[in-house]
Amino acid sequence: MKMSKKLMVLPGKKPKLDRRDPAATPGAEGKQAAVELVEKHTKRMAALQYLLYAESKRAVLIVIQAMDAGGKDGVIRHVMTGLNPQGCKVTSFKVPSAEEMRHDFLWRVHKVVPAAGEVGIFNRSHYEDVLVVRVHKLVSKDVWSARYRQINAFEEMLAQNNVTILKFFLHISRGEQKKRLIERLDDPTKQWKISDADFSERRYWNDYMAAYEDALSQCSTPWAPWYVIPADHKRFRDLAVSQIIVETMEGLDMKFPKPSADLEKIRTTLVNSV
Protein backbone atom coordinates (compact mmCIF):
# COMPACT_ATOMS: atom_id res chain seq x y z
CA MET A 1 0.00 0.00 0.00
CA LYS A 2 1.22 3.48 -0.83
CA MET A 3 2.54 5.53 2.11
CA SER A 4 0.14 8.35 1.17
CA LYS A 5 -2.81 5.95 1.50
CA LYS A 6 -1.56 4.58 4.82
CA LEU A 7 -1.11 7.92 6.55
CA MET A 8 -3.80 10.12 5.00
CA VAL A 9 -6.69 11.33 7.13
CA LEU A 10 -9.62 10.25 4.99
CA PRO A 11 -11.87 13.21 4.17
CA GLY A 12 -14.82 13.34 6.52
CA LYS A 13 -13.14 11.01 9.05
CA LYS A 14 -11.53 11.75 12.39
CA PRO A 15 -7.77 11.20 12.65
CA LYS A 16 -8.16 9.71 16.16
CA LEU A 17 -4.76 10.95 17.19
CA ASP A 18 -4.93 9.26 20.58
CA ARG A 19 -5.11 5.91 18.84
CA ARG A 20 -2.22 6.54 16.45
CA ASP A 21 1.17 5.50 17.76
CA PRO A 22 3.74 8.29 17.25
CA ALA A 23 6.47 5.64 17.44
CA ALA A 24 5.01 3.52 14.63
CA THR A 25 7.12 2.79 11.55
CA PRO A 26 4.68 1.10 9.14
CA GLY A 27 6.35 -0.60 6.23
CA ALA A 28 9.88 0.48 7.20
CA GLU A 29 12.74 -2.01 7.29
CA GLY A 30 15.19 -0.53 9.77
CA LYS A 31 17.17 2.66 10.09
CA GLN A 32 19.77 2.08 7.40
CA ALA A 33 17.15 1.15 4.81
CA ALA A 34 15.19 4.29 5.72
CA VAL A 35 18.25 6.51 5.30
CA GLU A 36 18.92 5.02 1.87
CA LEU A 37 15.32 5.46 0.79
CA VAL A 38 15.26 9.09 1.88
CA GLU A 39 18.34 9.65 -0.25
CA LYS A 40 16.64 8.01 -3.20
CA HIS A 41 13.49 10.08 -2.70
CA THR A 42 15.54 13.26 -2.42
CA LYS A 43 17.08 12.61 -5.85
CA ARG A 44 13.69 11.77 -7.34
CA MET A 45 12.21 14.96 -5.87
CA ALA A 46 14.95 17.02 -7.50
CA ALA A 47 14.09 15.52 -10.90
CA LEU A 48 10.37 16.09 -10.34
CA GLN A 49 10.99 19.67 -9.23
CA TYR A 50 12.92 20.27 -12.45
CA LEU A 51 9.97 18.97 -14.43
CA LEU A 52 7.56 21.12 -12.40
CA TYR A 53 9.71 24.15 -13.18
CA ALA A 54 10.03 23.29 -16.87
CA GLU A 55 6.31 22.74 -17.22
CA SER A 56 5.42 25.81 -15.13
CA LYS A 57 1.75 24.87 -15.06
CA ARG A 58 1.28 24.09 -11.41
CA ALA A 59 2.71 24.74 -7.96
CA VAL A 60 3.25 22.41 -5.01
CA LEU A 61 2.50 23.65 -1.51
CA ILE A 62 3.74 21.64 1.46
CA VAL A 63 2.34 22.58 4.87
CA ILE A 64 4.17 21.38 7.97
CA GLN A 65 2.64 21.58 11.43
CA ALA A 66 3.84 20.04 14.70
CA MET A 67 4.09 20.58 18.42
CA ASP A 68 7.33 22.22 19.62
CA ALA A 69 10.33 19.94 19.01
CA GLY A 70 8.13 17.90 16.66
CA GLY A 71 10.76 18.02 13.92
CA LYS A 72 9.58 20.72 11.49
CA ASP A 73 13.09 22.09 11.02
CA GLY A 74 14.54 18.59 10.69
CA VAL A 75 12.09 17.56 7.99
CA ILE A 76 12.67 20.73 6.03
CA ARG A 77 16.44 20.24 6.21
CA HIS A 78 16.57 16.52 5.46
CA VAL A 79 13.84 16.16 2.95
CA MET A 80 14.36 19.33 1.00
CA THR A 81 18.15 19.26 0.63
CA GLY A 82 17.85 17.98 -2.92
CA LEU A 83 15.63 20.80 -4.15
CA ASN A 84 16.95 23.61 -6.26
CA PRO A 85 16.69 26.79 -4.15
CA GLN A 86 15.78 28.73 -7.31
CA GLY A 87 12.35 27.14 -7.44
CA CYS A 88 11.72 26.53 -3.76
CA LYS A 89 10.81 28.84 -0.92
CA VAL A 90 10.26 28.18 2.79
CA THR A 91 7.99 30.56 4.71
CA SER A 92 7.86 30.48 8.52
CA PHE A 93 4.72 31.83 10.12
CA LYS A 94 5.24 33.64 13.40
CA VAL A 95 2.96 35.66 15.66
CA PRO A 96 1.21 38.01 13.20
CA SER A 97 2.61 41.52 12.90
CA ALA A 98 0.49 44.58 13.66
CA GLU A 99 -0.16 45.00 9.94
CA GLU A 100 -1.13 41.35 9.48
CA MET A 101 -3.52 41.60 12.42
CA ARG A 102 -5.41 44.33 10.63
CA HIS A 103 -6.22 41.94 7.77
CA ASP A 104 -8.12 38.67 7.55
CA PHE A 105 -6.08 35.66 8.69
CA LEU A 106 -5.49 34.36 5.17
CA TRP A 107 -4.07 37.60 3.82
CA ARG A 108 -0.47 36.90 4.79
CA VAL A 109 -0.82 33.31 3.58
CA HIS A 110 -2.20 33.97 0.12
CA LYS A 111 0.64 36.38 -0.63
CA VAL A 112 3.25 33.63 -0.24
CA VAL A 113 1.50 30.74 -1.97
CA PRO A 114 3.99 29.39 -4.54
CA ALA A 115 3.59 30.44 -8.17
CA ALA A 116 3.34 27.98 -11.07
CA GLY A 117 6.59 26.04 -11.39
CA GLU A 118 7.53 26.48 -7.73
CA VAL A 119 7.54 24.40 -4.55
CA GLY A 120 6.52 26.31 -1.43
CA ILE A 121 7.00 25.02 2.10
CA PHE A 122 5.09 26.43 5.03
CA ASN A 123 6.77 26.06 8.41
CA ARG A 124 3.56 26.54 10.43
CA SER A 125 0.68 28.01 8.45
CA HIS A 126 -2.88 29.35 8.46
CA TYR A 127 -3.67 26.37 10.71
CA GLU A 128 -2.14 28.30 13.63
CA ASP A 129 -5.35 30.32 13.43
CA VAL A 130 -7.36 27.29 14.56
CA LEU A 131 -4.62 25.89 16.85
CA VAL A 132 -2.69 28.34 19.04
CA VAL A 133 -5.42 30.92 18.55
CA ARG A 134 -8.08 28.48 19.75
CA VAL A 135 -6.04 27.05 22.64
CA HIS A 136 -5.23 30.51 23.99
CA LYS A 137 -8.64 31.96 23.20
CA LEU A 138 -7.11 34.78 21.17
CA VAL A 139 -10.42 35.17 19.34
CA SER A 140 -13.94 34.03 20.23
CA LYS A 141 -15.20 30.55 19.40
CA ASP A 142 -17.55 32.01 16.77
CA VAL A 143 -14.55 33.39 14.94
CA TRP A 144 -12.24 30.36 15.03
CA SER A 145 -14.95 27.83 14.40
CA ALA A 146 -15.92 29.57 11.15
CA ARG A 147 -12.33 29.26 9.96
CA TYR A 148 -12.40 25.55 9.09
CA ARG A 149 -14.91 26.26 6.37
CA GLN A 150 -12.98 29.34 5.28
CA ILE A 151 -9.75 27.35 5.08
CA ASN A 152 -11.42 24.61 3.02
CA ALA A 153 -12.82 27.17 0.59
CA PHE A 154 -9.44 28.91 0.31
CA GLU A 155 -7.57 25.67 -0.29
CA GLU A 156 -10.16 24.52 -2.80
CA MET A 157 -9.72 27.75 -4.72
CA LEU A 158 -5.94 27.23 -4.74
CA ALA A 159 -6.33 23.62 -5.89
CA GLN A 160 -8.63 24.73 -8.71
CA ASN A 161 -5.86 27.10 -9.72
CA ASN A 162 -3.32 24.29 -10.04
CA VAL A 163 -1.78 24.36 -6.58
CA THR A 164 -1.21 20.83 -5.31
CA ILE A 165 -1.46 20.92 -1.52
CA LEU A 166 0.00 18.40 0.93
CA LYS A 167 -0.32 18.90 4.68
CA PHE A 168 1.80 17.04 7.21
CA PHE A 169 1.20 16.84 10.93
CA LEU A 170 4.36 15.51 12.58
CA HIS A 171 2.90 13.50 15.43
CA ILE A 172 5.21 13.10 18.42
CA SER A 173 4.36 11.79 21.87
CA ARG A 174 4.47 13.96 24.93
CA GLY A 175 7.29 11.79 26.29
CA GLU A 176 9.36 12.22 23.13
CA GLN A 177 8.83 15.99 23.28
CA LYS A 178 10.10 16.04 26.87
CA LYS A 179 13.15 14.02 25.87
CA ARG A 180 13.95 16.36 22.98
CA LEU A 181 13.49 19.51 25.06
CA ILE A 182 15.82 18.11 27.74
CA GLU A 183 18.38 17.23 25.06
CA ARG A 184 18.19 20.81 23.83
CA LEU A 185 18.91 22.11 27.31
CA ASP A 186 22.09 20.03 27.34
CA ASP A 187 23.24 20.77 23.79
CA PRO A 188 25.10 24.08 23.34
CA THR A 189 24.35 23.99 19.60
CA LYS A 190 20.61 23.82 20.26
CA GLN A 191 20.21 25.99 23.34
CA TRP A 192 19.49 29.03 21.18
CA LYS A 193 16.29 27.37 20.01
CA ILE A 194 14.84 27.25 23.52
CA SER A 195 12.07 29.64 24.47
CA ASP A 196 10.04 29.86 27.66
CA ALA A 197 6.98 29.17 25.55
CA ASP A 198 8.25 25.70 24.55
CA PHE A 199 8.00 24.65 28.17
CA SER A 200 4.90 26.55 29.19
CA GLU A 201 3.00 25.32 26.11
CA ARG A 202 3.45 21.71 27.30
CA ARG A 203 0.78 22.38 29.89
CA TYR A 204 -1.71 22.80 27.08
CA TRP A 205 -0.83 19.50 25.41
CA ASN A 206 -4.34 18.06 25.63
CA ASP A 207 -5.93 21.27 24.38
CA TYR A 208 -3.58 21.25 21.40
CA MET A 209 -4.37 17.62 20.65
CA ALA A 210 -8.10 18.45 20.69
CA ALA A 211 -7.48 21.41 18.38
CA TYR A 212 -5.40 19.26 15.99
CA GLU A 213 -8.04 16.54 16.07
CA ASP A 214 -10.67 19.02 14.87
CA ALA A 215 -8.44 20.78 12.35
CA LEU A 216 -7.39 17.51 10.74
CA SER A 217 -10.86 16.02 10.67
CA GLN A 218 -12.53 19.17 9.34
CA CYS A 219 -9.87 20.17 6.85
CA SER A 220 -8.61 16.94 5.32
CA THR A 221 -10.22 17.24 1.91
CA PRO A 222 -9.80 15.50 -1.44
CA TRP A 223 -8.10 18.65 -2.75
CA ALA A 224 -5.83 19.22 0.27
CA PRO A 225 -5.38 16.08 2.39
CA TRP A 226 -3.78 15.93 5.81
CA TYR A 227 -1.23 13.23 6.62
CA VAL A 228 -0.44 12.20 10.18
CA ILE A 229 3.24 11.28 10.26
CA PRO A 230 4.39 9.16 13.20
CA ALA A 231 7.37 11.31 14.16
CA ASP A 232 8.98 9.89 17.29
CA HIS A 233 11.51 8.15 15.02
CA LYS A 234 13.22 10.78 12.91
CA ARG A 235 14.35 8.43 10.13
CA PHE A 236 10.83 7.10 9.65
CA ARG A 237 9.41 10.62 9.74
CA ASP A 238 11.75 11.72 6.93
CA LEU A 239 11.04 8.57 4.98
CA ALA A 240 7.27 8.99 5.19
CA VAL A 241 7.25 12.68 4.27
CA SER A 242 9.66 12.27 1.35
CA GLN A 243 7.79 9.23 0.04
CA ILE A 244 4.41 11.00 0.12
CA ILE A 245 5.85 14.01 -1.70
CA VAL A 246 7.33 11.77 -4.41
CA GLU A 247 4.14 9.72 -4.75
CA THR A 248 2.07 12.89 -5.09
CA MET A 249 4.37 14.61 -7.59
CA GLU A 250 4.63 11.45 -9.68
CA GLY A 251 0.83 11.40 -9.84
CA LEU A 252 0.72 14.87 -11.40
CA ASP A 253 1.49 13.50 -14.85
CA MET A 254 3.84 16.35 -15.70
CA LYS A 255 5.48 16.61 -19.10
CA PHE A 256 8.32 18.66 -20.52
CA PRO A 257 6.88 21.33 -22.82
CA LYS A 258 7.48 20.86 -26.52
CA PRO A 259 10.39 23.02 -27.69
CA SER A 260 9.15 26.20 -29.31
CA ALA A 261 12.16 26.51 -31.62
CA ASP A 262 12.76 24.52 -34.82
CA LEU A 263 15.52 22.29 -33.47
CA GLU A 264 16.41 20.69 -36.83
CA LYS A 265 16.91 24.08 -38.41
CA ILE A 266 19.11 25.18 -35.51
CA ARG A 267 21.06 21.92 -35.73
CA THR A 268 21.72 22.39 -39.45
CA THR A 269 22.75 25.99 -38.95
CA LEU A 270 25.06 25.02 -36.08
CA VAL A 271 26.64 22.10 -37.93
CA ASN A 272 27.30 24.25 -41.01
CA SER A 273 28.70 27.16 -39.03
CA VAL A 274 32.38 27.75 -38.36
Does 124 engage in binding with ligand ADP (CB under 6 A)?
yes
Site for ligand ADP in 241-270 (CB under 6 A): none
Count of residues that interact with ligand ADP, criterion CB under 6 A: 14
Binding-site string for ligand ADP from residue 53 to residue 82, where x marks contact by CB under 6 A and - marks none: ---------------x--------------
User: What are residue 65's DSSP bridge partners?
Assistant: 169
- Are 221 and 156 in contact by the 8 Å Cβ rule? The answer is yes
Binding-site string for ligand ADP from residue 87 to residue 106, where x marks contact by CB under 6 A and - marks none: -----xxxxx----------
Kindly tell me which residue out of 84, 86, 195, 206 binds ligand ADP, with binding defined by CB under 6 A: 195
Does 197 engage in binding with ligand ADP (CB under 6 A)?
yes
H-assigned helices in 102-138: 107-110, 132-135
Q: Which residues contact 115 (CB under 8 A, 6 or more apart)?
A: 59
**Among residues 171, 86, 71, which one has the least CA distance to residue 123?**
71
Does 35 engage in binding with ligand ADP (CB under 6 A)?
no
Does 238 engage in binding with ligand ADP (CB under 6 A)?
no
Round to whole Å and give the CA distance between 108 and 162.
20
Q: Which residues contact 47 (CB under 8 A, 6 or more apart)?
A: none
Q: Which residue, 68 or 238, is less far from ligand ADP as judged by CB?
A: 68
Residue type at position 14 = K
Q: Which residue, 160 or 200, is less far from ligand ADP as judged by CB?
A: 200
Q: Which residue, 52 or 241, is less far from ligand ADP as judged by CB?
A: 241
Does 19 engage in binding with ligand ADP (CB under 6 A)?
no
Phi, psi dihedral angles at 185 (to 5 degrees): -60, -35
Q: Which residue, 200 or 273, is less far from ligand ADP as judged by CB?
A: 200
Q: 229: part of which helix (H) or strand (E)?
A: strand 226-230
Round to whole Å and give the CA distance between 124 and 145.
19
User: What are residue 8's DSSP bridge partners?
Assistant: 227
Does 132 engage in binding with ligand ADP (CB under 6 A)?
yes
Kindly tell me which residue out of 88, 121, 130, 133 binds ligand ADP, with binding defined by CB under 6 A: 133
> Which residues contribute to the site for ligand ADP (CB under 6 A)?
68, 92-96, 123-124, 128-129, 132-133, 195, 197
